[in-house]
Amino acid sequence: METGHSDTAAMRKALRPVLLASPRDVAEHAPFLWRLQVGLADESIPAALICPLGCNAESVVPAPVDVFTYPALNLPFMERVGLESLALQLERFKPTVLHGLCESRAALARRLARRLSLPYVLGVNSLTGKSHRLSISPTRCARIIVPTETVGSSVLRSHGRFADRVRQIQPGTFAGTDPVCFADPSRLSTIVVAHRLDRVSDFVVLLKAAKVLLAEGHEFMIAIMGAGRAERRLRTKLAEYGLTRVVTIVPVLDPWRSVLAAGDIFVHLQPMPTFSGFLLEAMGLGVAVVACKGGVDDLIVHEDTALLYERNNEASLRQALVRLLEDHDGARRLAASAQGYVRQRYSVGAMVSAMLDTYIEALRFSGS
């Protein structure tokens, strides 16, 4: 036992992980990426981060962390050229394990692991399918990290031969002690939505519900946080519904938690195929949640962490919103229940500890 403990301590001391981030990791999962790196620094473990060109690395990089950009130029032919340059830079850092933070970094993690003769772990945050085959090395990918049981089950169905490598590690957050929703009775009620602006149809049920609520005399404002190709069409739709003075569209701000913290109600639109960091942070902050069940919905427990509404059903969404807008005490009880749920299951300390264990498992895997 002492020898095993000594070996684990030596491996822990030798850890030098490199995190491979996607644009989505930097934009939407910034709090979790920041906390992981801080946790590594607290354990005196040197870490490096690879970010895509144009990402706001400052929002996710606590000092001291080495930062590399890949690809160096946003040109189609630069990927292979840049890969060799990146590998040479990483060799000077002397990494011991690579961590692709999401499935979009699967191919890069695999190529770098082969080039540097290293083990790697791969994060999968979205539902997968048989038609969506991930690039996974059977000899170098030691663990596949999933944030929820739903995503884990999806990975097992589509990549069953890697079943023994799948490990669930919940993203960590800090849950407040008191809900932020309706904390100031004199403030206008605020509904927050965080959703990509790729399809106007995703927002129609919300806009219809908002129009009826205003006609019934409810007073509130809506902040939609996101960006996408349909933004201009969405603004046109707001004008059609007479909601331009009520609804504000903002980009994913840095830090976007401040937008969530200013809300009383968070609306989770449509079943989402990807784990939502926005939803987790809203619950941790104590914002009352109204959610459409489906997709990656492990956080959504009706009457415990959220109120559910039926997909694309304006009346169902409107009823849930009315309930919270008219019963602030009930909304705060719901938000407090969600905070307790998050506090119990989504600890930052547990996340960092589990990641460290996984990195050590990867080092052992490389010698098998």
Phi, psi angles (nearest 5°) of residue 187: -90, 145
Average pLDDT over residues 250-264: 92
Of 256 and 131, the structure prediction assigns the larger pLDDT to 256
Average pLDDT over residues 198-226: 97
Q: Is the CA virtual torsion 233, 237, 242, 247 positive or negative?
A: negative
Does position 309 have pLDDT exceeding 50, yes or no? yes
For position 132, what pLDDT does the model report? 67
Report the Cα–Cα distance between both ends of the chain, in Å, rounded.
20
Q: Report which of 214, 206, 187, 185 is spatially closest to residue 309, judged by C-alpha positions.
A: 206
**8 Å CB contact between 274 and 340:** no
For position 7, what pLDDT does the model report? 85
Beta-carbon count within 10 A of 70 CB: 22
Average pLDDT over residues 310-325: 97
Does position 75 have pLDDT exceeding 70, yes or no? no
In the chain, the amino acid numbered 187 is: R
For position 240, what pLDDT does the model report? 97
Structure tokens at 103: 């499935």
In the sheet with 141-146, reading across from the earlier edge strand, the strands are 66-69, 48-51, 17-20, 97-100, 120-123, 141-146, 166-168
Does position 47 have pLDDT exceeding 60, yes or no? yes
Domain 189-345 has CATH 3.40.50.2000: yes
For position 2, what pLDDT does the model report? 56
For position 215, what pLDDT does the model report? 97
Structure tokens at 93: 């850092």
Note the CATH number of domain 2-172+347-366.
3.40.50.2000
For position 64, what pLDDT does the model report? 80
Model confidence pLDDT, tens digit, residues 265-303: 999 999 999 999 999 999 999 999 999 989 999 999 999
Tell me the average pLDDT of the chain: 92
Q: How confident is the model at residue 71 (pLDDT cuts 50, 70, 90)?
A: confident
Phi, psi angles (nearest 5°) of residue 210: -65, -40
For position 131, what pLDDT does the model report? 53
Model confidence pLDDT, tens digit, residues 177-205: 999 999 998 999 999 999 999 999 999 99
Inter-residue long-range contacts of 296-299, CB under 8 Å, 24+ positions, other chains counted: 296/126, 296/127, 296/147, 296/148, 296/150, 296/151, 296/272, 297/150, 297/271, 297/272, 298/148, 298/149, 298/150, 299/148, 299/341, 299/342
Strands 189-194 and 17-20: unpaired
What DSSP string describes 215-273?
Answer: HTT--EEEEEE---TTHHHHHHHHHHTT-TTTEEEE---SSTHHHHHT-SEEEE-S-BS
Does position 1 have pLDDT exceeding 50, yes or no? no
Structure tokens at 318: 């409107």
Please state whether the peptide bond connecting residue 71 to the residue before it is cis, i.e. omega within 30 degrees of 0. Answer: yes
Does position 6 have pLDDT exceeding 90, yes or no? no
Q: How confident is the model at residue 255 (pLDDT cuts 50, 70, 90)?
A: confident
For position 8, what pLDDT does the model report? 86
Where along the chain do its domains lie? 2-172+347-366, 189-345
Average pLDDT over residues 164-182: 96
For position 74, what pLDDT does the model report? 59
